[in-house]
Structure 1
């Protein structure tokens, strides 16, 4: 019986294991296409900017009105405006 090449049998499994492990380690930090990660909406970003004090209440209302005109949302999301002082 002839000797099988070195890449057959258990040796092939170990090569596959190490190659897959290395690919997984280097691919892990990057976004995988098709993965479902929640992205912040423009209203979320606007609310965050108001909360951190980057924009005033007046500027917030103007920008929110522009956003809602361009991209109408349901009423439950519209009620997420910050409370007045």
Structure 2
């Protein structure tokens, strides 16, 4: 599932690679600043994997959509 691409789309690993590139861009261009990111499920889970050190399995298991723990925003720190 994590490496399997959706029809004519990306796998979760593809999204993770794309988000990693985006984070490099943010670090180079907006270091030390606050940035709002609006995204869907796959990019948010990729942020959990890349910035919070979760495994994909943990990210899926702890996903707010599954745990019913929605909140008005999430904070990710890019170091």
What TM-score, normalized by structure 1, do the two folds share?
0.29
Q: Which has the higher contact order (CA 8 A, sep 6+)?
A: 2
